[in-house]
Amino acid sequence: MALQLEKTTREDIERLVAEYVERHVEQRVEARLRQLLAEDPAAKRVAIIASRGTLDMAYPPLILASTAAAMGMAVGVFFTFYGLQILKKHLKLAVDPVGNPAMPMPVPNIVSVLPGMRAAATRMMEGMFRKHKVPSIEELRQMCLDAGVRLVACQMTMEVMGIRREDLIDGIEVAGAASFLSEASQAHVTAFI
């Protein structure tokens, strides 16, 4: 009789386990899965390369970085090539009207190459941003540092361009492309500016 009972119990057990798993476990696993996927850590990371050193194109990496940091995201900006100019202690960013027919006030190239036109375009653009209460590049840069944005200078292009660590502001890091890539490989938002 004990033997008979064991057989029955074994079948019972198998059936009951199967029922329980179907009723409870799969739902819980599915819910936990969706929860973990929704927590997608890549959605909270931003990795930007800033490669340009004109006044106009200094705004986008700093505006995106400071906005993302304000949204609670972990942000790194990697400054390379002309973008290193944005990290200089003494900023001398300019904008050039020559060759950019999309400037707000385009001038013919034959005029825009004349001495003084670069300085005039730069002053005009600075004025336009100031008038609309957009922080300056110095201010945006500080806002980024204050918000915990990692500002990283590209070691290789620093060397190639003869830029020394002491030419750049405090609070930044110096690293290579591999450092950017390991950060970017964990981030949904990646951009080369």
- Tell me the Ramachandran region of residue 72: left when phi exceeds 0, alpha when psi lies from -120 to 50, beta otherwise: left
**Beta carbon nearer to its own copies, 93 or 144:** 93
Token readout for 61 is 């990496």
Q: Site map for its own copies, 164-183, x if CB under 8 A?
A: ------------xxx-xxx-
Query: Which region among 51-59, 137-145, 165-173 touches its own copies (by CB under 8 A)?
Result: 51-59
31 contacts its own copies (rule: CB under 8 A): no
**Residue 78 phi, psi (nearest 5):** -110, 115
Give the number of residues in contact with its own copies, rule: CB under 8 A: 98
**Among residues 91, 120, 124, 134, which is the contact residue for its own copies, using CB under 8 A?**
134
**Beta carbon nearer to its own copies, 115 or 148:** 115
* Smallest gap from residue 173 Cβ to its own copies (A): 17
Spatial distance between the Cα atoms of 112 and 116, rounded to a whole number of angstroms: 9
**Among residues 54, 74, 91, 142, which is the contact residue for its own copies, using CB under 8 A?**
54
Spatial distance between the Cα atoms of 119 and 97, rounded to a whole number of angstroms: 10
* Smallest gap from residue 142 Cβ to its own copies (A): 18
3-state SS string for 137-155: HHHHHHHHHHCCCEEEEEH
76 contacts its own copies (rule: CB under 8 A): no
Q: What is the largest CA-CA distance in the chain?
A: 108
156 contacts its own copies (rule: CB under 8 A): yes
90 contacts its own copies (rule: CB under 8 A): no
Spatial distance between the Cα atoms of 65 and 140, rounded to a whole number of angstroms: 9
* Smallest gap from residue 67 Cβ to its own copies (A): 4
148 contacts its own copies (rule: CB under 8 A): no
Beta strand 45-50 with 74-79 is parallel
